[in-house]
Amino acid sequence: MKFCSNPASFLLVANFVLAADISEFVISPNSIAPLFDVDALPRSIPRRQKRSEICKVYPGDKNWPSDSEWSALNKTVGGALIKPVPRAAVCHSNWPQYYDPAKCTDLMANYNNHERRVADPTDLIYVYFQGLSCLPSTDPTTPCTTGGDPSYVVNVTTPEQISTVIKFAAKKKIRLIIKNTGHDTGGKSTGEGSLSIWTHNMKTIQWLPKYTTKYYTGPALKVGAGVSLDEFYQAADNHDVTVVGGECSTVGVAGGYSAGGGHSPVGGLFGMGADNIVELTAVLPNGTHITATTGSNPELFWAFRGGGGATFGVVTSITVKARPKIHVTISTWSFGTAANNITNSTFWQAARVYLEHVTTIADSGSQAFAQIRPATGGLTFSMTSFVAPNKTVAEYDTLMAPFFSKILTLGISVTQNTTFHPSFLGGWQRAFPKISQPWNPEKQVVASGSRLIPRKNFEQPKLFNQTFSTLQNIVDLGYGFIFYAQKNEAHAGVDNAINPAYRKSAVFLILSGSYPQNASAVEVNVVRDQVTKVIVPILKAVTPGSGTYMNEADIREEGWQQSFFGSNYARLLKLKKEVDPNSIFWAKTAVGSENWYIQNDHGLPEVGTGRLCRKL
Ligand SMILES: *[C@@H]1O[C@H](CO)[C@@H](O)[C@H](O)[C@H]1NC(C)=O
Ligand SMILES: *[C@@H]1O[C@H](CO)[C@@H](O)[C@H](O)[C@H]1NC(C)=O
Ligand SMILES: *[C@@H]1O[C@H](CO)[C@@H](O)[C@H](O)[C@H]1NC(C)=O
Ligand SMILES: *[C@@H]1O[C@H](CO)[C@@H](O)[C@H](O)[C@H]1NC(C)=O
Ligand SMILES: *[C@@H]1O[C@H](CO)[C@@H](O)[C@H](O)[C@H]1NC(C)=O
Ligand SMILES: *[C@@H]1O[C@H](CO)[C@@H](O)[C@H](O)[C@H]1NC(C)=O
Ligand SMILES: *[C@@H]1O[C@H](CO)[C@@H](O)[C@H](O)[C@H]1NC(C)=O
Ligand SMILES: *[C@@H]1O[C@H](CO)[C@@H](O)[C@H](O)[C@H]1NC(C)=O
Ligand SMILES: *[C@@H]1O[C@H](CO)[C@@H](O)[C@H](O)[C@H]1NC(C)=O
């Protein structure tokens, strides 16, 4: 199965029911007591004031903006303010204005159509973060609440609107979030009681054949914040060039993708997504709209490229290098104990041969995206998509021949499906097709953890053996994993905040545990704790000092500051304090987020329901 068409590989869903109606969350001192010891605060501050000092203003609070204040904001932003309604309200009779059985049937048939999710003001690709508080159902009496969704959304199209919204949130001390496409495994694009800046409709695309600055001269593409990956790749193709973006079509290139660094099918050839940005525009926490390049606002320019999303402001556009047009070869294939009638031991010998080959694959500039999984009574290895940029089929065959001939001696004969595409766009469309799947209440879902595995782990014989045993051990414990073999070195002249661990890696690996969608919070935590506290640490033990890719990681990652940012953390934190001293922007695992937490007591801290408070 293809990665992008397999939401189970990231869709984190559980059917724990959250008491998420906003009225039930109006905070009382007692309800915050288990998480925050109010009585330990200095006695001289009256209780009410203490709360407002430590928490963002929340619906139901005395200081929550009045209807007329919302209305005034709406006028200022030209009528772009939306009071969001959950997408699945059409299935629930407690939303009489929206309940519509025919629309519900249509929603169920297209529940995992990712383009539709992206077009909704609040819906996410990973609905877990919304609290699963309004799911499709054939029983209209099942509850539907707004859960972890924002209170209001501004459908922005201009930097001026964004500036207005930021200033409003700052003045009213309410929680502010950014949603672009909602293709976000870090839960940054939702939050109960927040005001959301929805950048999806900032769709401008500008072709700049003669972009010229002191730092880069050549063709470039300037894209607005809301441009999605397929629009980005299509625009480049229209001008006979190649641009660096991600894998799945609903990734928002100028959003969290670039802010997190951005791995790419063509990254081995052209560098990572953020490496290709030559200029960007953004609205800062004080509402100022800036242009950042190597020469102008250089520190912010450095930080916006790798320092993480929802941290330093709202990026409104990026200008990226347009690379030469390339052809691409794509290959898919698999082998396994059942398909090839081999023992587990032979399977692992073949997997070992593959792992011995990953540095060669990485050095070729390719991205090999594969999976190793336990299967009924045995094991499978699938090459989900081998992307060989600027290679012919013959060149790809030469690259992989040593691997295939070695495993043939183990009795493993593989039928490959290899195709040549004259332009990258066609190859990408084959490798990462769009997703549309119906609602499936029976789906097994996953909790993921990840790690960047340094190149030296594949080069030093003793360390290689330890790495190999570790991967085998993880699978023996019942965990499948997906992994990219790829290099992501910094090209000459590139200086940005991308996690230094990325530069030294040859493999990025994501493993996952699974649980039924209707697992209770307690059951979900058993699976998540195992991933966070047992399995990921096994990988960390063989990759000390490395890290992971923040955009595809365990949201409960322990020591995320080091794992996601490495040695850049201190510098990023210093800048965060300068640019956003009042934490206008906050997101879990974002730089400077550690003194804040979401008050809720359902046991799932990453779910966006609850009041956002600062620990004193
Ligand atoms: C904002 O104004 C527009 C245009 O007047 C209106 O359609 C919309 O319903 C308003 N939004 C809210 C939340 O009231
Ligand atoms: C958001 O704004 C765009 C551009 O003005 C408009 O086309 C679109 O219908 C709006 N979407 C919603 C959900 O209001
Ligand atoms: C599978 O391999 C075993 C042992 O090599 C052999 O006895 C058996 O006939 C094979 N089965 C098939 C279906 O090829
Ligand atoms: C693609 O390969 C050709 C040779 O086959 C080479 O001339 C060209 O520079 C390569 N392009 C890139 C972007 O690496
Ligand atoms: C190879 O893959 C393509 C695209 O996924 C598919 O259309 C085609 O049927 C496959 N060919 C074979 C022989 O399986
Ligand atoms: C690595 O493992 C292989 C296979 O078990 C063994 O032959 C080799 O001696 C080991 N190398 C080192 C350096 O431990
Ligand atoms: C082969 O490995 C799988 C996955 O770890 C395991 O479930 C199975 O029991 C193993 N089979 C044998 C014969 O050891
Ligand atoms: C979860 O769903 C399965 C099948 O859909 C059902 O058998 C089971 O009873 C459900 N568990 C709970 C706790 O609702
Ligand atoms: C806004 O913040 C930036 C970065 O901290 C700063 O350079 C700029 O002067 C500020 N603008 C205003 C109007 O305060």
Q: Which two tokens stand for residue 556?
A: 């409960």
φ/ψ of residue 163, rounded to 5: -60, -45
CA distances from 539 to 129, 517, 557 (A): 26, 27, 13
Residues 532 and 478 in one domain: yes
Q: Model confidence at 435, in pLDDT bands (50, 70, 90)? A: confident
Task: Give the ligand with the smallest distance to the CA of 355.
Answer: 6
User: 118 lies in a domain?
Assistant: no
User: Taking 80 as the threshold, does the pLDDT of residue 25 lie above it?
Assistant: no
Banded model confidence at residue 584, pLDDT cuts 50, 70, 90: very high
- Asked if pLDDT for residue 49 goes beyond 80, the answer is no
Query: Is 465 close to ligand 6, i.e. is its CB under 6 Å away?
Result: yes
Domain count of the fold of the chain: 2
Q: Does residue 288 line the site of ligand 9, with CB under 6 A? A: yes
Distance separating alpha carbons of residues 82 and 514, to the nearest angstrom: 36
Cα angle 559, 587, 549 (rounded to 5 degrees) comes to 50
pLDDT, tens only, 296-319: 999 999 999 999 999 999 999 999
511 by DSSP, 3-state: which?
strand
Contact 83, 121 (CB under 8 A): no
Q: Indicate the range of 190-199, 420-429, 436-445, 477-486 predicted with least confidence.
A: 436-445
From the CA of 132, how far away is ligand 8's center (Å)?
A: 16
Given the structure tokens 């009681």, which residue do they identify? 193
pLDDT on residue 44: 33
Q: Using the predicted structure, report yes or no on whether residue 38 has a pLDDT greater than 70.
A: no
Question: Which of 523, 551, 567 corresponds to the end of one domain?
Answer: 567
Which atom of ligand 6 lies at the shortest distance from residue 461's CA?
A: 13
Please report, as a single letter, which amino acid is at residue 540.
Answer: K
Query: Is the pLDDT reported for residue 213 higher than 60?
Result: yes
Looking at the domain assignment, is residue 14 inside a domain?
A: no
- Whichever domain contains 366, its CATH number is 3.40.462.20
CA dihedral of 559, 561, 565, 568, whole degrees rounded to 10: -130
Residue 42 lies in a domain: no
* pLDDT for 20 beyond 60: no
476 lines ligand 7 (CB under 6 A): yes
Among residues 324, 342, 375, the one where a domain terminates is 324
**Do residues 317 and 357 share a domain?**
no
Q: Is 282 in the pocket of ligand 9 (CB under 6 A)?
A: no
| Whether 336 and 316 share a structural domain | no
Q: Is the pLDDT of residue 51 over 70?
A: no
How many Å apart are CA 262 and CA 279, to the nearest integer? 16
Residues 337 and 304 occupy one common structural domain: no
Top pLDDT among 133 and 445 is at: 133
Query: Which-ligand-closest: CA of 343?
Result: 7
Full-model pTM? 0.92
Ligand 9 in reach of 286 Cβ (< 6 A): yes
> Mean per-residue pLDDT for 10-28?
25
474 lies in the same domain as 354: yes
User: Above pLDDT 70, what percent of the chain?
Assistant: 91
pLDDT: is 33 or 99 the higher one? Answer: 99
Residues 487 and 377 in one domain: yes
Residue 543 has pLDDT above 80, yes or no: yes
pLDDT, tens digit, 9 for 90 and up, residues 321-377: 999 999 999 999 999 999 999 999 999 999 999 999 999 999 999 999 999 999 988
Q: Is residue 296 situated within a structural domain? A: yes
Nearest residue (by CA) to ligand 1, atom 9, is 82
Residues 272 and 222 in one domain: yes
Ligand 4: list residues with CB < 6 Å. Answer: 269, 324, 326, 390
The predicted pLDDT at position 18 comes to 24
Residue with tokens 């991933």: 531
Q: Are residues 390 and 474 in the same domain?
A: yes
d(CA 60, CA 32): 15
CATH of the domain at 243: 3.30.465.10
Q: Tell me what pLDDT residue 3 has.
A: 61
Ligand 6 pocket check for 462: Cβ under 6 Å: yes
Q: How confident is the model at residue 29 (pLDDT cuts 50, 70, 90)?
A: very low
Is the pLDDT at 442 greater than 90? The verdict is no
In a domain, residue 261? The reply is yes
Atom of ligand 5 lying closest to residue 417 CA? 1
> What does the mean pLDDT of the chain come to?
90
**Length in residues, the chain:** 616
Same domain? For 449 and 507 the reply is: yes
**CA of 266, nearest ligand number:** 4
Q: Closest ligand to 419 CA?
A: 5
Task: State whether residue 577 is helix, strand or coil.
Answer: helix
The finding on whether 460 has its CB within 6 A of some atom of ligand 6 is no
Do 368 and 236 fall into the same domain? no
Ligand 4 atom nearest to CA at 323: 13
- Residue 484: inside a domain: yes
Q: Judge if 317 and 223 occupy the same domain.
A: yes
- 74 in ligand 1 pocket by Cβ < 6 Å? yes
Is there a domain that residue 250 lies in? yes
Calculate how far, in angstroms, residue 378's C-alpha sits from the geometric centre of ligand 7.
Answer: 5
Burial of 295 (0-12, 13-18, 19+ CB in 10 A): exposed
34 lines ligand 6 (CB under 6 A): no
Residues 141-176 pLDDT 10s? 999 999 999 999 999 999 999 999 999 999 999 999
Question: Do 508 and 387 sit in the same domain of this protein?
Answer: yes
Question: Vertex 172, ends 171 and 177: CA angle to 5°?
Answer: 95
**Residue whose CB lies within 8 A of the most ligand 6 atoms, among 459, 465, 470, 472, for a mutation test:** 465
Q: Return the ligand number nearest the Cα of 377.
A: 7
Domain boundary residue, one of 308, 324, 340: 324
Q: Where in the sequence is the domain holding 304, given as residue range(s)?
A: 205-324
Residue 592 inside a domain? The answer is: no
**Probe target for ligand 8 pocket from 443, 515, 518, 522, with the most ligand atoms within 8 Å of CB:** 518
